Amino acid sequence: MGNMCYRDYDEEKLLGGQEVKKPESVQGSIMKPKPSGDGQTNEITNQNQTEMTDDPELQVEKDEFIKLSNENTKQLDIASKTQEPEGQGLQTQKVNIDSFRLLKVLGKGSFGKVMLVQYKSNQIAKYYAMKVLQKKNIKNERQKRHTETERIILATCSSIFLVRLRYAFQSQYKLYLVVDYMPGGELFYHLRKVGRFKEDVAKFYAAEILLGLQYLHENHIIYRDLKPENILLDETGHIKLTDFGLSKIMMEEDETAFSLCGTPEYLAPEILTTKTGYDKTCDWWSFGALLYEMLVGAPPHYKENKKEMIRRILTQPIPYPSYLSENARSILEQLLVVDPKKRLGYENDGYDIMKHDFFIGIDMAEIIQHRIQPPYKFDKKELKYFDEGMTKQIAKDTPVNGTLLPNQNFSNFTYQPSMQQGATIKK
């Protein structure tokens, strides 16, 4: 990919209604790498993600985070021992990489890769996505905390709109997260294919995403990395949010966050500018930017030059194409407000957004029960919605060696619940 952005189009072309060819996406819930000068993908962050190094949040949160991690792990260990009676699915063998058949590569990044795997003891074809992280690439306390945060959220949150953790384990040099396999691939894949969604399609996906974000907020979590690549589609076409490495677990109701992290196209202005912190309202800007992209074809003020794009977001009014409906434009104008205190969702979180006229005709009670038919029905052909360049690669657990730093040791990482649910692939 070099210095090219994964989106090679800009707002002038989109607002003019021109059809723009877009490049192939790297699939899988893992960060896309930025090649170094020698062609190797050894950098942790890339041009599409931003992270601040001098961060007061890290100092304030460190001890509290360790306490939370230990408490959650203790609860999970107890639950895994008591959830199922003896003889009704209780896992007695320790899970490791040899417990799985490695089938296909779904995606790669600077941290590691994502593979399609099958748990060997399943009697039927249950498939999962295995995210493999190399410990040597987790080079500082911040990156370690992001990894531990994802492990906690995946294991403790239970929502039909979030990917769930099924197993977690580690070797000397690697971490393994085994999660639900989503045969529909990324929402980005489908959005790229059509250019932009019709309003009724965008409205359906927005409703499910909204409920997923509201669930996180009610569990004191700021997502901080909402984008089409982090929205996966299950075999029936419903969405699930994934990739919680940049999420923030709020210890107190009125706590604020300080990290400059996320993907620039979707970053709320207060994350970029504030020195006093920000709260969960930042997710509603990202939600507005994502909805704008679904309806228009690109995030607001999208530019390949990130500095210019951010300058426009902070200083220039957002252009709205004439083909947007009155209700679509109205909700976008209320979400994409620079002042978070004036943004839709500031007062009553996602409930204010659910009441907007844009969602007229959408029954949220039906949405949350998966009673509304998704707009797309997927061909169940295996791996159709993933990058063919990845899936043709041999899936294997590549040997790694070397010396690890003290911060690259992980305790309380293993997760092995008593019973598992996986996606079924039709052969």
Amino acid 38 reads: D
DSSP state of 25: P
Residue 427 labeled ligand binder:
no
Alpha-carbon gap, residue 265 to 309, rounded angstroms: 8
The label of the residue with tokens 């890290």 reads: 58
Verify whether residue 349 is a known catalytic residue. Answer: no
Q: Helix 141-156 and helix 56-82: axis angle, to 10°?
A: 40
The residues pairing with 222 across neighbouring beta strands, listed in sequence order, are: 248
Torsion of CA 304, 306, 309, 310, to 10 degrees: 170
Q: Which secondary structure element, helix H or strand E, spans residue 308, and what is its range? A: helix 306-315
The residues pairing with 240 across neighbouring beta strands, listed in sequence order, are: 232
Residue 153 has phi, psi (to 5 degrees) of -65, -45
- Radius of gyration for the chain, computed over Cα atoms and rounded to the nearest angstrom: 21
DSSP state of 125: -
Determine how many CB atoms are found less than 10 A away from the CB of residue 184: 26
Q: Which of 8, 77, 98, 225 is the catalytic position? A: 225
Best CA proximity match to 423, nearest among 391, 389, 393, 378: 378
The binding site for ATP consists of 131
Report, as residue numbers or ranges, the catalytic residues.
225
The binding site consists of 131
